[in-house]
Amino acid sequence: MAGKGRGRGKQRKPEPEGQLRQSQMITTFGPGSMVDLVDRAVVIGGLEHWGYSKNDASEPLDDPRLRRSLIPRLKALHPDLDLAKTDYFRRPPVCDWDDRHPIVGTRALEFPRWFVCQGCQRLATAVDQFENKGGRYRHQCAKNRSSHAVPVRFVAACRNGHLSDFPWKWFVHLDRKDGECDRPELYLTEGATGDFGKIIVRCRNCGESQPMNRAKVGGGSKCPGHRPWLGGPAANERDCEEKLQLLVRTGSDAYFAQVVSALRLPDPEPDPLRKRVREKKLWDVLKNTKSEAEVSTLLGIIDFVREALDGFTPEQIASAVQAERDAEAGVTDRPLRSAEFERITTAPLEQPGVVPDPDVPFAAYRVPESRIDLPDGVAGLVVVPELREVRVQVSFSRFDSVSANLQGEYDFEQGRVRPAPLTMPGGNEKWLPAAEVRGEGIFVQLDEAVVQAWEKSPAVVERSGKLLAAFHVDGRGEFPGIRFYLLHSLSHLLMTAISLECGYAASALRERIYCNPPGDVEPPMAAILISTGTTGSEGTLGGLVEEGRRLRRHLREAWEMGRLCSNDPVCAAHDPSSEASDRRTEGAACHGCLYVAECSCERFNRYLDRALVVPTIGNDPALAFFRERP
The pLDDT tens digits for 302-354 are 888 888 888 888 888 888 888 777 766 555 567 899 999 999 999 998 888 77
Above 60 in pLDDT, residue 1?
no
Nearest CA to 32 out of 261, 260, 258 is that of 258
The pLDDT tens digits for 586-596 are 999 999 999 99
Alpha-carbon distance of 63 to 51, in angstroms, equals 23
Q: Residue 592: how many CA atoms within 13 Å on its side-chain side?
A: 11
Q: Given pLDDT bands bounded at 50, 70 and 90, which one contains residue 11?
A: low
Q: What is residue 150's DSSP assignment?
A: E
Above 80 in pLDDT, residue 463?
yes
Q: Given pLDDT bands bounded at 50, 70 and 90, which one contains residue 82?
A: low
Alpha-carbon distance of 74 to 80, in angstroms, equals 10
Alpha-carbon distance of 84 to 63, in angstroms, equals 11
Can you count the helices (H) and strands (E) in the chain? 15, 23
Q: What is the pLDDT of residue 419?
A: 75
The pLDDT tens digits for 510-569 are 999 999 988 888 889 999 999 998 876 555 666 888 888 999 999 999 999 999 999 999
Q: Are 48 and 117 in contact (CB under 8 A)?
A: no
Q: Are 266 and 360 in contact (CB under 8 A)?
A: yes
Nearest CA to 43 out of 32, 54, 52 is that of 32
Q: Are 485 and 609 in contact (CB under 8 A)?
A: yes
Q: What is the pLDDT of residue 175?
A: 84
Above 50 in pLDDT, residue 8?
no
Cβ contacts of residue 81 below 8 Å, gap of 6+?
Answer: 74, 88, 430, 431, 432
Q: Which backbone phi and psi does 106 adopt, to 5 degrees?
A: -105, 125
What are the DSSP calls for 372-439, one per residue? --PPTTEEEEEEEEEEEEEEEEEEEESSS-----TTS---TTTTS--PBPSS-TTSS---EEEEEEEE
Alpha-carbon distance of 535 to 482, in angstroms, equals 34
Above 80 in pLDDT, residue 83?
no
**Number of other residues whose CB lies within 10 A of the CB of residue 468:** 15
Mean pLDDT, the chain, whole residue set: 84
Nearest CA to 531 out of 346, 401, 362 is that of 362
Q: Give the residue-averaged pLDDT of 6-18.
A: 56
